[in-house]
């Protein structure tokens, strides 16, 4: 299976429909449960779980703390498909078309709105660990350097050759999130997310670079998925769960550990998942 081949992608969609049934496979809302939204996949009603291992062409995830399932069902009265576990480019040799295959599949299943989350290091000094930051724009660093899911020959059925990522994070959806947050007395920041290739964490000088260019939070995912979502016309709501504060000072020894990131993600994940459930309740698709 070639992730760049449109007909191969349709074959994957056909296999999914065959395995869970046409009606079950239909979804209007897609959720990529990154760190911080893990629990939401477990709250799907009438859940039908399809492990990635049963989906032809889907890679398996190996990162500790990430599952590998497609979950179909209902949330807040909407038909949803949740991706429990995403594909990080650093796990798959920067094959971004492969990593974004699930987004294209979701589009074929009928998804019109996608909610994405990630664990991120805080760069803006107002951010504290455990905070939620709504993403209003991004810096897709690998994409700027040619690691984009859209490079290579493009079958027009995927969408436009040149994709606009202005308003990539839908203004109305962000406003809804802010309204829901305000009503629940949540502190909700809005900022710019930068994606680096990883998997190494950034040096203090690299964090300073990102701060200088206007980034508020830093992670290793999301931007490639959002880029593909925009190519196929899916509206996006994205947020970062701040799991740690990125270190800007070379004289300070600060260890970021994956365990710490997972620990905070778990603690704040429940709260984040409830917040997203509240948003979904009020969503009109």
Catalytic residues: 35, 66, 88, 90-91, 119, 220-221, 244, 258
Which listed residue (256, 266, 267, 277) binds ligand 6GU by CB under 6 A?
Answer: 256
Residue 257 to residue 29: CA distance in whole angstroms = 33
Residue 1 to residue 55: CA distance in whole angstroms = 11
Q: Which two tokens stand for residue 195?
A: 């994606």
Which listed residue (219, 226, 232, 275) binds ligand 6GU by CB under 6 A?
Answer: 219
Q: List the helix and strand counts (H, then E) for the chain.
A: 10, 9
Region from 48-56, 72-80, 168-176, 238-246 binding ligand 6GU, contact rule CB under 6 A: 238-246
Q: For ligand 6GU, what does the binding mask look like between residues 41 and 80, x meaning CB under 6 A?
A: ----------------------------------------
In whole angstroms, the minimum distance from the beta carbon of 261 to ligand 6GU comes to 5
Residue 230 to residue 223: CA distance in whole angstroms = 11
Which listed residue (70, 96, 119, 163) binds ligand 6GU by CB under 6 A?
Answer: 119
The residue whose Cβ lies closest to ligand 6GU is: 121
| Interface with ligand 6GU, residue 196, by CB under 6 A | yes
| Interface with ligand 6GU, residue 132, by CB under 6 A | no
Give me the phi and psi of 229, to 5 degrees please: -55, -40
Q: How many residues bind ligand 6GU (CB under 6 A)?
A: 15
- CA-to-CA separations, 65 to 52, 74, 147, 156, in angstroms, rounded: 16, 24, 25, 36
Q: Which two tokens stand for residue 100?
A: 């974004």
Q: Which of residues 77-116 bind ligand 6GU (CB under 6 A)?
A: none
Which listed residue (220, 229, 276, 279) binds ligand 6GU by CB under 6 A?
Answer: 220
Which listed residue (115, 173, 246, 268) binds ligand 6GU by CB under 6 A?
Answer: 246
- CA-to-CA separations, 207 to 175, 191, 210, 233, in angstroms, rounded: 29, 16, 5, 32
DSSP string, 162-210: S---TT-B-HHHHHHHHHHHHHTT--EEEEEEEE---SSPPPHHHHHHH
List residues binding ligand 6GU (CB under 6 A): 119-121, 196, 198, 201-202, 218-220, 243-244, 246, 256, 261
């Amino acid at each position: 299976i070639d992730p760049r081949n449109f007909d191969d992608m349709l074959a994957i969609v056909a296999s999914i429909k065959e395995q869970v049934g046409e009606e079950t496979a239909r979804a209007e809302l897609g959720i990529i449960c990154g760190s911080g939204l893990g629990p939401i996949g477990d709250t799907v009603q009438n859940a039908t779980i399809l492990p990635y291992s049963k989906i032809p062409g889907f890679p398996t995830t190996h990162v500790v703390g990430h599952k590998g399932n497609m979950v179909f069902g209902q949330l807040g009265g909407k038909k949803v498909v949740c991706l429990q576990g995403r594909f990080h480019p650093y796990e798959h040799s920067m094959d971004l078309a492969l990593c974004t295959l699930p987004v294209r599949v979701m589009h074929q299943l009928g998804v019109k709105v996608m909610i994405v989350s990630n664990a991120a290091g805080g760069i803006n000094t107002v951010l504290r660990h455990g905070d939620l930051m709504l993403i209003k724009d991004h810096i897709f660093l690998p994409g700027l350097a040619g690691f984009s899911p859209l490079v290579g020959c493009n079958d027009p059925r995927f969408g436009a050759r040149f994709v606009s990522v202005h308003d990539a994070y839908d203004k109305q959806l962000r406003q809804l999130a802010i309204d829901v947050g305000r009503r629940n007395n949540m502190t909700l920041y809005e900022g710019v997310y930068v994606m680096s290739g990883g998997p190494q964490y950034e040096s203090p000088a690299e964090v300073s670079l990102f701060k200088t260019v206007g980034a508020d939070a830093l992670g290793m995912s999301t931007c490639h998925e959002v880029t593909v979502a925009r190519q196929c016309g899916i509206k996006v709501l994205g947020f970062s769960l701040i799991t740690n504060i990125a270190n800007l000072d070379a004289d300070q020894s600060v260890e970021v550990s994956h365990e710490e990131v997972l620990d905070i993600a778990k603690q704040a994940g429940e709260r984040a998942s409830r917040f997203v459930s509240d948003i979904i309740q009020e969503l009109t698709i």
